[in-house]
Structure 1
Amino acid sequence: MASPVSRVAVVGSGISGAVCASLLARNGVSVTLFESARGPGGRMSYRKEITEDGKELVFDHGAPLFTVSNPDVLGIVREWEARGLVAEWKENFASFDCISRKFIDFEKEGLSEKYVGVPVMNSICRALCHEPGVESKFGVGVGSLEWFDEKNLWSLTGLDGQNLGNFEGVVASDKNIFSKRFTDVTGRPPPLDLNLIPELAAKLQEVPVCSCFVLMLAFTKPLSSISVKGFSFKNSEILSWAFCDSSKPGHPATSERWVLHSTMEYARGVVAQIGLQKPSSSTLAKVAEELFEEFQRTGLTISQPFFKKAHRWGSAFPAASIAREEKCLWDRKKRVAICGDFCVSPTVEGAILSGMAASSKLTEFLSCL
């Protein structure tokens, strides 16, 4: 058990940061979690949309589901399941070949357990961010992290210049706090100066990422021509996945809602034209049309949706794993742990594993103080 006076800052409330924060708190660490967004989840976030006639629609527009193979992660997921935070999505999945216009490679129910958050994907992160011992501060962006050798403390400052406190350790689960991309988007230097952690700097200099566009669709009637609730696309340069969001357990089913994911190649082409800044509404409208037209080109009977909207994930998927064996990066001298899906694998399970590893490193270190 760590000393109860030990204070750790966790930056980022995606699944990796949320898991790390909750495990640290269970081991007696006082955790303050900082998240620049209004709520937790990262790519496990959801969107709430209001139609022109006032109807509320909810979409898991990030990670649609996750699978588990690691026994330690499975143990945590079983606990979440018992708490009603997750449920198994028991539906059939397949692939769709855009050349033959046929479903192939059907995957039957139970072959590979697929889990979803209930009632939305970020329910898991939200619960973890509010466990005893975790103080979560949403809408608070970290502007800089300063290390004081003589005190062995980190001092955090907000983007607005506010003093956010001093901490014995730091967990960075949001790669933007050390990434050059932070500068490209904001014009400011990254909050974490890699010169402070030279032993890790080489691995952190550039974590390549891939963008992704998603299309949220809502239909008045079920798409009866589609016999599965999720499928990948083969031989499409535009679409990679499609999921029937309203078929998930615990999700509202007042209308049939689908979420489509673009290919990385398609997203790369759009970003090459518009840059890394937030896409304009006209750009997103054009993307929505292109993704939907590709959906229609499958030859499946796709009726006109009453709701259609695109969203861009600017750094959706890491294109490299920088700590596959270690599962996180750890600087013992400066008490910094770096965790996230970019450490292990670009999956929810990879992010969970990395958060668990970061918690273990800090808990073990702080218990020796």
Structure 2
Amino acid sequence: MRILVPCAELGLGIHMTTAVIGAGIAGLSAARALAASGEPVTLFDKGRGPGGRMSTRRAETPLGELRWDHGAQFFTARSSGFQSVIVALRDAGALAAWHPGLADIRRRAAGWTVGVRPSDPSRETVFVGTPSMNAVIKALAADQHVHWGRRVTGITMTGRQKVLIFEDGSQEGPYDTVVSALPAEQAAALLQEISPELALEAGQAVTAPCWAVMLAYDAAIPVSWDGANVSGGALSWMARNSSKPGRGDVESWVLHASPDWSREHVGLPPDAVIDILAGEFREMTGAGAPVFAAAHRWLYAKVDRAARSPFGWDDAKRIATIGDWRSGPRVEAAWNSGESFAAFLADVSEQLEM
């Protein structure tokens, strides 16, 4: 997008540049929309590669190298705009529909009860990246200017120009617009000095932690379902990761603890988390000992209390906040947040050109 600003501010005809901090779904959504309109956009992400909460864990096991979707498990597409993104990603081979058999498991006084959901052709289709969840981020980032392994720790400002400060002391900039596509808690810390209003708004949002356990077995677990919502114990979700398209034939599972249990046990050692969560899984399914087990703690996993608007904007500083914490805990909400901000910035730019 070609943005012209009044000559009294930056000089007539100068192109405005944008830095996006965080190359997840929201950041990539905003960057792609802005870049498609001609806006010079650069993304910075602290991760070593594409993924974030849609990361894939790889590990060498006695059964060979395996991978698990240990963050986001799947996503849906309800808006026409996001549905068009799904079609493009599917055509590129980066995602596929997943049709899991589902169950609801509850802890009762007498033990665990399992209710298998009947097959329902009208059930909302869910999608997963192929061959792993982070394939979606890889595909969306492929044609964008992304710097991986660059953690932004501060932002300085001279006039209306912003410079990013990185963990290693290096700097990038200046930029006219800075977009934070970080989880709310990280955005609050980063913006506290430069944009107190946006930092306060981010600080009022709440993101729950989540312990995830990844398991591999040398034999199939004898259950008729591939995903289950769980209540009454430590677990809230279990999925047969190997039932997803492109994951191979080795029996592998992902277990997610509930937000409340994860908060209470956020400092528990990983081995203890594995013992507890895999123990519940064994009680419910009769599974034997896994040949591989690992745990990962997501400090910022699922939005509990959202800001209830698609983006935040500090007009005086030209700093924005986007992400699923703005409107709800869904991949599509993160995408819509980024697109909404890009559309807003386009409107602002048009007004400046008039």
Equivalent residue letter for 2:78: S
**Among residues 27, 31, 44, which one is paired with 1:34 in the alignment?**
44
Look up the match of 1:76: 85
Look up the match of 1:215: 213
Q: Partners of 1:55 and 1:250 in 2: how far apart?
A: 16
Q: Deviations over 1:14-63 (max 9, x none)?
A: 21112211222111111111111101221101111112x48211111100
Look up the match of 1:312: 297
Look up the match of 2:173: 165
Look up the match of 1:95: 104
Q: Partners of 2:187 and 2:203 in 1: how far apart?
A: 8
**Among residues 287, 294, 314, which one is paired with 2:273 in the alignment?**
287
SS in structure 2 at match of 1:98: strand
Q: Partners of 1:19 and 1:33 in 2: how far apart?
A: 11
TM-score (norm 2): 0.89
Q: Partners of 2:177 and 2:168 in 1: how far apart?
A: 22
Indicate whether 1:296 and 2:306 are aligned.
Answer: no
Q: Return the offset for 1:94.
A: 2.3
Look up the match of 2:31: 21
Look up the match of 2:333: 350
Look up the match of 1:144: 154
Residues 354 and 193 of structure 1: CA distance in aligned 2, closer, same or farther (over 3 Å): same
The Cα RMSD (Å) is 2.0
Residues 359 and 163 of structure 1: CA distance in aligned 2, closer, same or farther (over 3 Å): same
Equivalent residue letter for 1:227: S
Residues 328 and 106 of structure 1: CA distance in aligned 2, closer, same or farther (over 3 Å): farther
Whether contact under 8 Å (2:53, 2:301) holds in the other structure is yes
Indicate whether 1:328 and 2:336 are aligned.
Answer: no
Matches within 5 A, 1:186-335: 190-194=189-193, 196-223=194-221, 225-234=222-231, 236-251=232-247, 253-271=248-266, 274=267, 283-298=269-284, 300-322=285-307, 324=308, 326-335=309-318
Runs of 4+ in structure 1 deviating by more than 4 angstroms, as ranges, are: none
**Among residues 5, 17, 20, which one is paired with 1:7 in the alignment?**
17
Residues 14 and 39 of structure 1: CA distance in aligned 2, closer, same or farther (over 3 Å): same
Q: Deviations over 1:99-120 (max 9, x none)?
A: 3522244453551100001111
Whether contact under 8 Å (1:59, 1:259) holds in the other structure is yes
Equivalent residue letter for 1:240: S
Whether contact under 8 Å (2:107, 2:233) holds in the other structure is no
Residues 162 and 245 of structure 1: CA distance in aligned 2, closer, same or farther (over 3 Å): same
Whether contact under 8 Å (1:237, 1:265) holds in the other structure is no
Equivalent residue letter for 2:287: I
Equivalent residue letter for 2:170: Q
Say how many residue pairs are matched: 338
Structure 1 stretches of 5 or more lacking a match? 180-189
Whether contact under 8 Å (2:59, 2:66) holds in the other structure is yes
TM-score (norm 1): 0.86
Q: Return the offset for 1:309.
A: 1.0
Q: Percent identity?
A: 31
Q: Partners of 1:8 and 1:107 in 2: how far apart?
A: 47
Look up the match of 1:185: none
Look up the match of 2:7: none
Equivalent residue letter for 2:310: K
Look up the match of 1:108: 120
Whether contact under 8 Å (1:212, 1:267) holds in the other structure is yes
Q: Return the offset for 1:242.
A: 0.6
Residues 284 and 107 of structure 1: CA distance in aligned 2, closer, same or farther (over 3 Å): farther
Q: Partners of 1:168 and 1:117 in 2: how far apart?
A: 34
SS in structure 2 at match of 1:101: strand
Q: Partners of 1:267 and 1:118 in 2: how far apart?
A: 28
Equivalent residue letter for 2:180: A
Q: Deviations over 1:202-229 (max 9, x none)?
A: 4223322211101101111211x21111
SS in structure 2 at match of 1:342: helix
Equivalent residue letter for 2:128: V
Q: Partners of 2:243 and 2:121 in 1: how far apart?
A: 14
Equivalent residue letter for 1:89: W
